Amino acid sequence: MVDPDIPDDDKRRIIGNNALADRRVVPSSASGWLGIIAGLLLILILIAVSQEVALDRMTLIGGTATLSVLLVGAAAVGLPWGRFAVLSSPARLVRLYQDRYVVPADLDRSARLLLDRAGHAVETVYASRVNQMGWLDPVANDVVLPRRLWEIARVLRTQSELRAEHARATGGVLTPELRAVLEPQLAALRRSAGEVTGQVAALEAYARRVQAADAALHAEDLLRSNDKYRDLLAHTDDLEGLRDLASRAHGVGAVLASSVREAVAAGRTLAVH
């Protein structure tokens, strides 16, 4: 999980970067700098060769040109590769953004479960047809959801750290003085956990509203096949069935409009909390 305010290029370098899975093991970016240094050295050699004055100019011109091409090619590869390696270096990313991304190793089991629930709810909203058709509030989806997900991940990381700290503190002899310190801390931790659980539940409620709107949209799509069912009932002179089919079809459009309104309202509720 990544802070949405991180520049997009670095965000892409962080997401899915297995080298960042364990913050304690961060490879060095030395290979990238070596590539840049090698590229610069090759350029300097090329400049020196190009200025060389040969005794037999006609004899050496072919070899000099060939060497020049090789050096230019090596520099063209070395400099971009070195730059790429440095920018993608886990060491650089950790140095710049160590507190602005969360990896699974940062979270305990209960925190991971909550973050998975929150992520699934957000993915459900993004994948919905009503979202892809632009029927939902764009501010709620494009701005609020990424930030809410990041804030949940950040707090869950802190909670995981504090739960581990509390577990270590209670592993020995519990004196009255120690209890006096730990009990209010544990109470605060539990209150925070309850608040985050409520935020995750709000995301899930929004996702359910969006799913209901999708279901209503699907029902409206199916109305296009009602003509076949009307023809089937007409062949048997089933007037009651025809009336029932027509009345139910009339209500689908209202259900869709209502479902979309409720989904939009749920998204806007997230924005004000």
pLDDT in tens, the chain (273 residues): 899 999 999 898 888 788 777 665 555 544 444 545 555 555 555 565 555 544 444 444 455 555 555 555 544 544 454 444 455 677 888 888 888 999 999 999 999 999 999 999 999 999 999 999 998 888 888 989 999 999 999 999 999 999 999 999 888 788 888 889 999 999 999 999 999 999 999 999 999 999 999 998 888 777 666 565 555 556 555 555 545 645 555 566 677 778 888 888 888 887 666
Structure tokens at 89: 């270096």
- C-alpha distances in angstroms, 219 versus 212, 243, 245? 10, 18, 13
Residues 6+ apart with CB under 8 A from 155: 192, 196
Alpha carbon 164 to its chain's center: 26
Torsion of CA 66, 67, 72, 73, to 10 degrees: 70
Separation CA 59–CA 30 (nearest Å): 41
- Residue written as tokens 């070195």? 82
Separation CA 9–CA 93 (nearest Å): 11
Phi, psi of 29 (to 5 degrees): -95, 20
Compute how many other C-beta atoms are within 10 angstroms of the C-beta atom of residue 127: 12
Confirm if 20 and 90 have CB atoms less than 8 A apart. yes
pTM above 0.85, yes or no: no
Residues 6+ apart with CB under 8 A from 31: 85
Separation CA 29–CA 89 (nearest Å): 5
Q: For 91, what's the count of Cα atoms within 13 Å in the CB-facing half-sphere?
A: 9
Compute how many other C-beta atoms are within 10 angstroms of the C-beta atom of residue 78: 20
Compute how many other C-beta atoms are within 10 angstroms of the C-beta atom of residue 259: 22
Structure tokens at 168: 């270590």
What pLDDT shows up at residue 76? 53
Concatenating the DSSP letter of every residue in 119-138 gives: HHHHHHHHHSHHHHTT-S-H
What pLDDT shows up at residue 161? 95
Q: Is 139 left (phi over 0), alpha (psi -120 to 50) or beta?
A: alpha
Instruction: Give the residue among 158, 148, 183 at the shortest CA–CA distance from 108.
Output: 158
Q: Is 24 left (phi over 0), alpha (psi -120 to 50) or beta?
A: alpha
Bridge partner list, 101: 2
Residues 6+ apart with CB under 8 A from 213: 128, 130, 135, 256, 259, 260, 262, 263
